[in-house]
Structure 1
């Protein structure tokens, strides 16, 4: 089936964020998978309603053991069926690493072509947050799973498309260096105005009202 523009924006934006594609056919076919913690159940079902024509089952709740804390985390998830329309995104986002024997998600070279405001909103809702609620309008996007080169490709797109300046926050965990995108105070208002029309109600707490609060 042919994807609608809304479906394309959701898939593209969330693949920059928490969404992922899975293949059991060495990249010949793909399915989309979404997972959210129970407190973000509304957001998960919002995604499902948009993509349900691609799905064979409804979202399910399950538990995951957090190995860091030993606590059980309640989650909701759903998968689409494999669909030829998803091959476009699989080829764009994934490359096979023969050394690690797994598929690696990367930021597409043509990210700037597809990063419209609605796709950007899904990216931010998936992985964004206010830097310091009540004290700052600055924001950040958790991009630790991407390389620095990939992240800078996103930053360049934000500058070229929307004149939004960003920075990098370096994070060191054991022997791994990773980076987050920072959106400073001077850019936060423009960024918020860009994505505001597309925010799901339960995710508006991630966006500043310009007065150190949230929408």
Structure 2
């Protein structure tokens, strides 16, 4: 039971422990700092989205300031170079590099690496978002995500699955169970998207069953459609259109969904038709 504030005469004292007060003060200051960064809104949106996906911030002893790193495999080069172009305000002449797979990598594809300049703004982001060199999921910075952020996150780590493909999943393998549930509550409260938090067991290197448990966000068909209506207008490149293609057995339902996509992405009409053909063909194999 909650204790009532102590009363002394006509005055009521509701004391907040100093530790809690100082903690709240620091959190409020960090939230304000995130809004005051000199980075453009576009860059902040992309950075926050990709930090949930394939990006990370790094602060090493060699440098005073932190930098942003993003890696994608070469088949995603169109999407990668879109990110590099959009983040040119923090880029240098040597930001884009081609990497060959290392011996311990579970993917044998070559990688494209974007490394930003080390700047004070990115250091501020690092101090706000990271704790003990790991991204810390907190509501105070999730509230800064935009539809563009969500689209970037989906392009990084989202998939439409099933046969036919009508369910969605966001791979949040890098986050613990508590963090994934926090994200799920955020999506419900802010975006009215209801997702299921489900666990899988896998060996990240070999793709086999293992005792290691990971937690992911799962979308049923109706919630997936709500989600895609938010993010699809912000799909940036033709090669990512397939991530919005829901497949129906009923031709009328299929045509309605494709019409919605073409209205949201008028510049990618042909790519939408081609992506649907490929997914339909895969289902028939």
- TM-score, normalising length from structure 2? 0.67
**Alignment map for 1:92-111 (pairs within 5 Å):** 92-96=128-132, 103-111=133-141
How many Å apart are 1:66 and its aligned residue?
6.0
How many Å apart are 1:32 and its aligned residue?
0.3
* Shift in alpha-carbon separation, 1:27–1:113, aligned structure 2, 3 A: farther
2:56 matched to which residue of 1? 20
Q: 1 or 2, which has the higher helix percentage?
A: 2
2:276 matched to which residue of 1? none
1:122 and 2:159 matched: no
- 1:37 alignment partner, one of 60, 73, 78: 73
1:189 and 2:225 matched: yes
1:2 and 2:32 matched: no
Distance in 2 (alpha carbons) for counterparts of 1:58 and 1:67: 24
How many Å apart are 1:26 and its aligned residue?
9.0
2:122 matched to which residue of 1? 86
**Alignment map for 1:70-81 (pairs within 5 Å):** 72-81=108-117
SS at match of 2:75: helix
1:100 matched to which residue of 2? none
Could you list the runs of 5+ residues in structure 1 that have no partner in the other structure?
A: 97-102
* Shift in alpha-carbon separation, 1:67–1:121, aligned structure 2, 3 A: same
Q: Encode CA deviations 1:165-208: one digit per residue, 9 max, x unaligned.
A: 10022112333221111011120111001001111221121122
* Shift in alpha-carbon separation, 1:83–1:131, aligned structure 2, 3 A: same
1:61 and 2:98 matched: yes
Distance in 1 (alpha carbons) for counterparts of 2:227 and 2:78: 23
Instruction: Note if contact 1:19-1:33 (Cα within 8 Å) is conserved in structure 2.
Output: yes
Distance in 2 (alpha carbons) for counterparts of 1:28 and 1:172: 39
Q: Encode CA deviations 1:39-76: one digit per residue, 9 max, x unaligned.
A: 0001110010011221222422121146476x732111
SS at match of 1:110: helix
- 1:145 alignment partner, one of 168, 174, 178: 174
- TM-score, normalising length from structure 1? 0.87
SS at match of 2:79: helix
Instruction: Note if contact 1:111-1:157 (Cα within 8 Å) is conserved in structure 2.
Output: no
SS at match of 1:72: coil
* Shift in alpha-carbon separation, 1:92–1:176, aligned structure 2, 3 A: farther
RMSD: 2.3
Give the structure with higher Rg (CA).
2
Q: 1 or 2, which has the higher strand percentage?
A: 1
